[in-house]
Chain A
Amino acid sequence: MSAPDPDPRPDPEALLRAAAQEGRGRLKVFLGAAPGVGKTYEMLKQGAARRDAGVDVVIGVVETHGRADTAALTRGFTVIPRMAAEYQGRTLEEMDLDAVLARRPELVLVDELAHTNAPGSRHDKRYQDVEELLAAGIDVFSTVNVQHIESLNDVVASFTKVRVRETLPDRVLEAADIEVVDIPPDELVERLRAGKVYVPHEANRALNHFFSKSNLSALRELALRRAAQTVDAQMLDYLRAHALAGTWAGSERIVVAVSELAGGATLVRAAKRLADALGAPWTAVHIETPRAIRFGDAENARIAATLHLASQLGGQVASVAAESVIEGLKRFSIEARATQLIVGKSARTRWFELRHGSVVDRLVRETPGVAVHVLPMTKDERSPGTRPAPARGTRGKPRDYLVALALTAFVTAIGAGLLSAGNITNVGLLYLLPVMVAATRYGLRTGIVTGLASSLAYNFFFIPPTHAFTIQDPQNILTVLVLLGVAVVSSQLAARVRDQALLAQRSAAQNSSLAGFARLLTGVSKRDELGQLLCAEVGRLLGASTMLLLPVRGELEVVSAVPPEDSLAAIEQAAARWAFDNNQPAGRGSETLAASEWLFHPLAAGGRVVGVMGLARPDATAAIRPDQLPLLLSLLDQAALALERIELEAEMATVTQLKERDRLRAALLSSVSHDLRTPLTTILGMLAEIQPVPGKQAEDLAAARAEAERLNRFVANLLDMVRIEAGALHQSLEPVDLVDAIGAAAHDLRRALAGHRLDLDVSPDLPFVVVDPQLFHHCLINLLENAAKYGDADGAIRIAAQRRHDGIVLHVMDEGPGLPPGGTTRLFETFTRIEGSDRKGGTGLGLAIVKGFAEAMGLSVAAANRADRPGACFSICFPEDRIRKGRTGE
Chain B
Amino acid sequence: MSAQARLLIVDDEPAIRKLLGAALVRAGYRVTEAGNAREALNAVQIDKPEAVLLDLGLPDRDGLELVPLIKAAGIAVIVVSARDATEQKVTALDLGADDYVTKPFDTEEVLARIRAALRHRLSASADAPVVQIGEIEIDLDARHVRRGGAEIHLTPKEYAFLAELARHPGRVITHAYLLRTIWGPGHENDVDYLRVAVRGVRRKLEPDAAPSSIIRNEPGVGYRLLV
Contact = CB atoms under 8 A, between A and B. Distances in A.
Decide if A and B are genuine partners: yes
B82 A674 contact: yes
A723 to B, nearest CB: 10
Interface in B1-20: 13, 15-16, 19-20
B39 interface: no
Interface string A710-745: 001000000000000000000010111101111110
Given A737-B195, A740-B195, A773-B86, A682 B16 contact: yes
Contact of B192 (A673, A679, A768, A774): A768
Nearest to A758: B211
Indicate the member of A685, A735, A747, A768 with the most B CB atoms within 10 Å: A685
Given A740-B198, A743-B212, A886-B196, A774 B103 contact: no
A122 B62 CA distance: 71
A764 interface: yes
B157 A739 contact: no
B156 interface: yes
A368 interface: no
A740 B217 CA distance: 6
A670 B83 contact: yes
Interface in A642-678: 670, 673-674, 677-678
Contact of B209 (A670, A741, A762, A889): A762
B151 interface: no
B186 to A, nearest CB: 12
Nearest to B199: A737
B58 to A, nearest CB: 11
B203 interface: yes
Nearest to B213: A743
Given A734-B220, A768-B192, A681 B16 contact: yes
A760 B211 contact: yes
B216 A887 contact: no
A764 B203 contact: yes
Given A689-B22, A758-B211, A673 B193 contact: no
Indicate the member of B83, B103, B202 with the most A CB atoms within 10 Å: B103
Contacts of B198: 737, 740
A735 B156 CA distance: 22
A732 B209 contact: no
Contacts of A747: 211-212, 216
Interface in B177-211: 182-183, 187, 190-199, 202-203, 209-211
Interface string B136-166: 0000000000000000000111000000000
Indicate the member of A682, A772, A776 with the most B CB atoms within 10 Å: A682
Nearest to B209: A760
B211 A743 contact: yes
A680 B84 CA distance: 15
A678 B19 CA distance: 11
B95 interface: no
Contacts of A330: none
Contacts of A760: 209-211
Contact of A712 (B83, B104, B195, B199): B104
Contacts of A762: 209
B218 interface: yes
A680 B194 CA distance: 36
Contacts of A686: 19
B53 to A, nearest CB: 13
B68 interface: no
A772 B104 CA distance: 23
A684 interface: yes
B216 A689 contact: no
A342 to B, nearest CB: 65
A469 to B, nearest CB: 108
Contacts of A746: 211-212
B120 to A, nearest CB: 22
A888 interface: yes
Contacts of B194: 889
B111 to A, nearest CB: 12
A686 B21 CA distance: 11
Contacts of B196: 886-889
Contacts of B19: 681-682, 685-686, 689
A784 B23 CA distance: 30
Contact of A889 (B16, B82, B183, B203): B183
A83 B202 CA distance: 90
A889 to B, nearest CB: 3
A218 to B, nearest CB: 79
A273 to B, nearest CB: 66
Interface string A857-890: 0000000000000000000000000001011111
A799 B211 CA distance: 10
Contacts of A679: 15
B31 to A, nearest CB: 15
B134 interface: no
A665 to B, nearest CB: 14
B46 interface: no
B85 A774 contact: yes
Nearest to A683: B104
Contact of A735 (B84, B191, B210, B213): B191
A222 to B, nearest CB: 73
A563 to B, nearest CB: 61
Contacts of B104: 677, 680-681, 684-685, 712
B57 A674 contact: yes
A685 B105 contact: yes
B86 A774 contact: yes
Given A677-B104, A678-B13, A681-B16, A739 B199 contact: yes
Contact of A741 (B13, B82, B219): B219
Contacts of A681: 16, 19, 82, 103-105
B42 interface: no
B107 interface: yes
Interface string A754-778: 0000101010100010001110110
A673 B82 contact: yes
B134 to A, nearest CB: 16
B30 to A, nearest CB: 19
Given A732-B220, A734-B220, A764 B183 contact: no
A677 B104 CA distance: 6
Nearest to A762: B209
A741 B155 contact: no
A764 B82 CA distance: 35
B210 A889 contact: no
Contacts of B16: 678, 681-682, 685
A52 B196 CA distance: 75
Given A746-B211, A774-B85, 19 more contacts: A673-B84, A681-B19, A681-B104, A684-B104, A685-B105, A688-B106, A688-B107, A735-B192, A740-B195, A743-B213, A744-B216, A744-B218, A747-B212, A774-B86, A776-B219, A887-B190, A887-B193, A889-B187, A889-B197
Interface of B: 13, 15-16, 19-20, 22-23, 57, 82-87, 103-107, 155-157, 182-183, 187, 190-199, 202-203, 209-213, 216-220
24 contacts: A678-B13, A678-B82, A681-B16, A685-B16, A685-B104, A686-B19, A689-B19, A739-B202, A739-B211, A740-B219, A742-B211, A743-B212, A744-B216, A744-B219, A764-B199, A768-B195, A773-B220, A886-B199, A887-B192, A887-B193, A888-B197, A889-B157, A889-B183, A889-B192
Q: Please name the 8 residue pairs, one residue from A and one from B, whose CB atoms are nearest each other, closest first.
A: A889-B193, A773-B220, A681-B104, A773-B219, A740-B217, A685-B19, A777-B219, A886-B192
